[in-house]
Amino acid sequence: MSGEESQKKVFDGEAASLLVKELRGSFGSGRTRSYEWRVSQVKALLKLVADNEQQIVDALRSDLARPPLETVVYEIGMFKNSCEVTLKELKNWMMPEKVKTSITTFPSAAEIVPEPLGVVLVISAWNYPFLLSLDPVVGAIAAGNAVVLKPSEIAPATSSLLAKLLEKYMDNSSIRVVEGAVDETTALLQQKWDKIFYTGNGRVGRIVMTAAAKHLTPVVLELGGKSPVVVDSNVNLPVAARRIISGKWGLNNGQACISPDYIITTKEYAPKLVDALKTELENFYGKKPLESEDLSRIVNSNHFARLKKLLDDDKVSGKIVYGGEKDESKLRIAPTILLDVPRDSLIMGEEIFGPLLPIITVNKLEESIDVINSGTKPLAAYLFTTNKKFKEHFVTTVSAGGLLVNDTVLHLVVHTLPFGGVGESGTGAYHGKFSFDAFTHKKAVLYRSFIGDASIRYPPYTNTKMRLMKALIGGGILNIFRALFGWS
């Protein structure tokens, strides 16, 4: 029996409890709180990537047939940027923030002190198994926490590699990896954590939130949803088509939480948009996209069957205007466009998470906002337009985790923007300082001296004290003078 099999066999509730106890001891020692420890661990993560880039590329090729360029840019490159921003800004993030006080507490000083939450759990997803595992871990480390990472078993090569590399490069007294599937995750969720960070789908998100509620543990849930793309008729169509394709099929073949899920455009403009998408898709992936080395495969047979079921639905089987080819033996589905898809079809009832792109048509583009707002709030919403008035109306009235005008997915790389959902697409946010904040408690601290001990706060209470207290609470020097002199 291998060491990995042995670990999986014995990692139950008792083992999870012991793990948390060990990490609480390490956190309690104060080792994770220092600036030096935090920096050393983030630098260790950068070294981990630098030393093992080819292994990371190979693992993702094994798990998803991921094109190396996508791994280097969207996983390794973004992760390096996250580490470098953290190293540059961490000292400022850790500094207490001075805040004003009121006359009620005079003389006094106050500040907000960021402190680590304690021992946190990160449960990551399979679709970007390197980035979505380690990016939250950077935030947890930067905030000074001890952390357990549970990678997704659906990307086994990456999960195994993460376990091996984090054991080798990181401080194992405070940073650990637990591999496994449902049983191991269940054992972890039975424990009391100081925060749980989960990336995945809404069904499991509800399980995580239910488990967290038993201990009143706060959560960050990075989920997903049906992210719409609204296309106006006044845009540069070839550029718009390329950017939609890049965000849909150039992002893990549609298996991404912020991937464009469906398009809304007018009946009149839809044929032109379809033609542009066809042209650019053929430029990108050739006439035989199932043979393209630049498209990821579907992650496993279960997801292949799920996507096939969406395509086989009677309501949409005649709506395919491009693609539709499938190779079950290789888990490949070609980029597929469907036109005039009914809103009550299966494909419009769930997040697609694959290479299928339905187009809904409306008479007027303004109707697109009602279509979006009639469903649950998406993780992202995209708009292509040069109409300033419609753009402002869209930004004001469409609720989503993030909005992007005239492109797709790139808001993900802007570290000064929070990345997270709203409503059923998630709760909480991260990236840049928002990652630090996600794993930090902002502790309110008020400092007073023994000078200025006013008798009005103590019994016996009199009418004069009542007037003065009302004036102090209400604020304003004039009111206090009036109270002192008994003026109404």
* Residues with active-site annotation: 222, 257
* 362, 368 contact by CB (below 8 A): yes
83 with 420: CB under 8 angstroms? no
Half-sphere exposure of 328 (CA within 13 A, CB side): 8
Question: Rounded to the nearest 10 degrees, how much is the dihedral formed by the CA atoms of 147, 148, 154, 156?
Answer: 100
Q: Tell me: cis bond preceding 378? Omega within 30 of 0 counts.
A: no
Is the separation of the CB atoms in 278 and 242 below 8 Å?
no
Q: What order do you get walking across the sheet with 175-177 strand by strand? A: 175-177, 146-150, 119-123, 195-199, 219-222, 426-427
Alpha-carbon torsion (289, 295, 301, 305), positive or negative:
negative
What backbone torsions phi and psi does residue 349 show, to the nearest 5 degrees? Answer: -95, -5
Phi, psi of 342 (to 5 degrees): -65, 140
CB 150 within 8 A of CB 166: no
Closest by CA position to 417, among listed 398, 400, 430: 430
**What's the one-letter identity of residue 196?**
I
- Rounded CA-CA distance 25/19 in Å is 10
Task: Spell out a b/e string for 114-137, using b for 16 or more CB atoms within 10 Å of the CB, else e.
Answer: bebbbbbbbbbbbbbbbbbbbbbb
How do 320-322 and 336-339 pair as beta strands?
A: antiparallel
In eight-state DSSP terms, residue 401 is: S
> 185: which 2 tokens?
């995750």
Task: Please give the single-letter amino acid code of residue 299.
Answer: V
Residues 173 and 37 sit within 8 Å (Cβ to Cβ): no
Q: Side chain identity at 389, as an amino acid letter?
A: K
Q: By 3-state DSSP, what share of the chain in percent is helix, strand and coil, each rounded to 5?
A: 50, 15, 35
Q: Which amino acid is at 12?
A: D
Measured between alpha carbons, how far is 488 from 479 in angstroms, rounded to an integer? Answer: 9
